[in-house]
């Protein structure tokens, strides 16, 4: 357990996050980059907007000042790419919920497994933290 003494420097605090395998921590930098991507996703919380989105996804995205990369990533449902471009899973959840996907199915698409394989892994106790805690440390 760490002692409660020293206040942490923000640069050191943020740098540590890059050492976690297969994870994009939702930092302020990502939140800024993904602002409109996330706000677009948020707009799908009303039935009217969901209908408009389903009717013409590409046209719906024109309403939002997102980058072309962000638009393509959303249209392709490439959620890892969306995370790289500043998306956050709780916002992206509005997109996959509108698609009728469960959290587990959408989440599995970000791993190297099919949904049945992912589900089986979860039923057997989930992904082990062993070897998944630190890139540098390899533990």
Partner 1 sequence: MARITAGVASSHVPLLGVAVDQGKTGDEYFGPIFAGYEWTKAWEKEEKPDVVILVYNDHASAFDMKIIPTFAIGCGERYKSADEGWGPRPVPDVEGHADLGWHIAQSLILDEFDMTIINEMDVDHGMTVPLSMMFGQPDKWPVKVVPLAVNVVTYPVPSGNRCWALGEAIARAVESFPEDLNVQIWGTGGMSHQLQGPRAGLLNREWDNKFLDMLIGDSDAARFIPHLEYLRETGSEGIEMVMWLVMRGALGKKAKCLHRHYHIPCSNTAIGHLVLEPTE
CA angle 11, 134, 105 (to 5 degrees): 105
Judged by the rule CB under 8 A, the positions of this chain that interact with partner 1 are 1-4, 8, 10, 13-14, 16-17, 20-28, 31, 35, 38-39, 41-42, 44-47, 50, 79-80, 83, 88-91, 93-95, 97-98, 102-104, 107-108, 110-112, 118, 121-123, 125-129, 132-134
- The first and second tokens of residue 36, run together, are 């409109």
Closest approach, Cβ 116 to partner 1, in A, equals 13
In the complex, what is the shortest distance from the CB of residue 77 to partner 1, in angstroms, rounded to a whole number?
A: 14
Contact 59, 71 (CB under 8 A): no
Closer to partner 1 by Cβ: residue 55 or 126? 126
Closest contact distance (angstroms) between CB of 122 and partner 1 is 4
Task: Return all residues near 137 (Cβ < 8 A) that are at least 6 apart.
Answer: 19
What tokens were used for 122? 């979860």
Residue 88, number of CB atoms within 10 A of its CB:
17
CB of 30 to partner 1, least distance (A): 9
Q: Which is nearer to partner 1, 52 or 107 (CB)?
A: 107
Q: Which is nearer to partner 1, 68 or 137 (CB)?
A: 137
């Amino acid at each position: 357990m760490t002692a409660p003494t020293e206040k942490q420097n923000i640069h050191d605090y943020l740098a540590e996050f890059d050492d976690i395998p297969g994870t994009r921590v939702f930092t302020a930098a990502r939140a800024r980059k993904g602002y409109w991507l996330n706000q677009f996703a948020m707009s799908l919380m009303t039935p009217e907007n969901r209908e408009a989105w389903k009717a013409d996804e590409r046209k719906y995205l024109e309403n939002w000042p997102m980058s072309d990369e962000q638009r393509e990533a959303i249209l392709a449902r490439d959620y890892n790419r969306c995370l790289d471009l500043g998306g956050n899973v709780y916002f992206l959840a509005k997109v996959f919920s509108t698609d009728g996907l469960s959290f587990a199915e959408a989440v599995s698409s970000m791993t190297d497994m099919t949904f049945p394989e992912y589900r089986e892994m979860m039923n057997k106790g989930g992904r082990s933290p062993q070897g998944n805690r630190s890139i540098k440390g390899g533990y």
